[in-house]
């Protein structure tokens, strides 16, 4: 019991810090964490707390990614649930993390790997056309100077 008195305030502090960081880190923040932080009611039944959360826009959609929160509140619909319990539950069931992914596969290819994908016939054809174009330009330039 004494350990619970120490851990509850600590969990509350951790969740608040996460919530504060999430608010500043827009556009990626948790609607559920914000809804919990905005609850003014200190204690209520699981059903009341779930109803309070659902009033906040975006919470219903996010709870699909964090089903443990909704299931726990529904399972305890008649039991007493505190805001601290809710904060701890949210901390134990964080929102999905967003990872950056570079599309297009591997980014660093070796020269040998690149060599496989080069169409040398095409590039040789371009080189020939380039030589022909330069010769034509030189011929036109020479004729222009002679006039």
Domain boundaries, the chain: 7-92, 111-146
What angle, 0 to 180 degrees and rounded to 10, lies between the N-to-C axes of helices 31-38 and 83-92? 160
Q: What is the pLDDT of residue 102?
A: 65
| Closest C-alpha to 69, from 61, 134, 119, 103 | 61
Q: Can you point out the beta strands (E) in 20-130? A: 43-45, 80-82
- In this predicted structure, the answer to whether residue 101 has a pLDDT above a threshold of 90 is no
pLDDT digits (tens, 9 = 90+) for 41-86: 889 999 999 998 898 888 888 888 888 999 999 998 899 999 898 8
pLDDT digits (tens, 9 = 90+) for 5-41: 555 554 444 444 444 444 444 556 788 888 888 888 8
| Closest C-alpha to 56, from 85, 97, 93, 86 | 86
For residue 139, CA distances in Å to 72, 126, 127, 128 come to: 84, 20, 18, 17
């Amino acid at each position: 019991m004494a350990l619970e008195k120490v851990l509850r305030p600590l969990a509350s502090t951790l969740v608040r810090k996460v919530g504060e960081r999430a608010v500043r880190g827009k556009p990626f923040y948790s609607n559920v964490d914000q809804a919990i932080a905005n609850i003014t009611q200190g204690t209520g039944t699981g059903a009341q707390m779930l109803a309070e959360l659902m009033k906040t826009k975006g919470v219903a959609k996010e709870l699909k990614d964090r089903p443990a929160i909704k299931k726990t509140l529904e399972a305890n619909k008649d039991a007493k649930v505190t805001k601290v319990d809710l904060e701890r539950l949210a901390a134990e069931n964080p929102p999905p993390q967003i990872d950056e992914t570079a599309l297009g596969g591997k980014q660093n290819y070796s020269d040998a790997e690149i060599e496989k994908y080069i169409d040398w016939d095409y590039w040789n054809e371009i080189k020939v056309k380039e030589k022909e174009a330069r010769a034509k330009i030189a011929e036109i330039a020479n004729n222009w100077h002679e006039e």
